[in-house]
Amino acid sequence: MQPKDIPARDRLIFAMDVPTCERARELATELGDAVTFYKIGLELMMSGEYFELLDWLLERDKKVFCDLKFFDIPATVGSAVRQLKDRGATFVTVHGNRSIMEAAAANKGDSLKVLGVTVLTSLDRGDLDDLGFDCDVDALVLSRAKQCLEAGCDGVISSGLEVPKLREYVDEKLLVVSPGIRPVDNKPAGDQKRVVTVETAFANGCDHIVVGRPIRDAANPREAALGMQASIAAQFAS
């Protein structure tokens, strides 16, 4: 387990992948205190009420991860991060090369943390071939994580499968946030290809997990979230 001072309940980040902010508010109300940390991404950005939802969550003492994957010329990415830094979000994601990540890190302020995307959990070896990467997934994740740290980013997005290598070869202070999490009774991965269970992700050394469909699509989303919270609490109890 990692020594970072992160409350156990904040280690679960719920991916609010719904089409409207009205549905997002309904779901957050249903989840109540079972979830303290929310990821809101591109689908909700296009709904037209993204910042209203961000403010609504903050007013209810929730933490917010703006998963916007900024990828543009460095000056534009830097400006976008600067616009976001005082909005109250905890995390924002960026894509791209070292100069893009450096621009994001230089404009993040004191409270916003920048997470660099390593390799999306929807990609596998065949997808990397299609994209022209002549290396395996582990090597690419490790290379990009080192670039993120050197560029001044606070952490990375990485599948739980690659976290042991990150912990072995990259500075421990790097935050690792792992999507593609599936409970053992929910094996179908959908468009996620590199997935792990809640227990494996934290045993491998991640700091936060991002969970979407296993909570959102559960018969009882609140009970599903509470079950994951109980598992996390047990792992960090010792």
DSSP state of 32: G
Phi, psi of 43 (to 5 degrees): -60, -45
User: CA of 101: how far to CAs of 50, 72, 80, 172, in Å?
Assistant: 23, 10, 12, 19
Do 224 and 198 meet the contact criterion of CB atoms below 8 Å apart?
no
Residue 190 gets the label, from left (phi > 0), alpha (psi -120 to 50) or beta, of left
d(CA 183, CA 219): 14
CA dihedral 135, 118, 225, 48 (to 10 degrees): -130
Active site residues: 69
Give the DSSP H or E segment for 37: strand 37-41
Give the DSSP H or E segment for 102: helix 98-106
